[in-house]
Amino acid sequence: MREMFDRFPEVMLIDATHGTNASKYKIFSFMVHDAFGKGQFGQHAVLRNERSSALLTAIEEFKVNNPAWTYLQCVVIDKDFTEMAVLEVVS
């Protein structure tokens, strides 16, 4: 997974589940795509909630473990204002 992000760090998709598992945990997923449209998950973070502090921790952990983060040019997310606010802080 890390190798994929090292090779194609320009675009990343980030999304969180919304009540799709029986345990009610939120799964915050980072997906990387290559130049041929093939995607692979770069990280899954299992969170207790979707508060900005939890999302910030997940993003910071991704950054620590993926030095190619500095080459990221575009992040694709859905219309989630908490995600938007956290990404503005870490940018």
- pLDDT tens digits, residue range 53-83? 988 999 999 999 999 999 999 899 888 788 8
CA distance 77 to 90: 15
pLDDT of residue 1: 65
User: What pLDDT was estimated at residue 24?
Assistant: 78
Q: Taking a C-beta distance cutoff of 8 angstroms, is the pair 56, 87 a contact?
A: no
Instruction: Look up the CATH number of domain 2-90.
Output: 3.30.420
pTM reported for the whole predicted model: 0.80
Report d(CA 42, CA 14) in Å as an integer: 10
N-term to C-term CA, the chain: 22
The per-residue pLDDT for range 5-60, each reduced to its tens digit, is 888 889 999 988 877 778 778 888 999 988 888 889 889 998 888 888 988 999 99
Domain ranges of the chain: 2-90
- CA 66/CA 42 separation, integer angstroms: 9
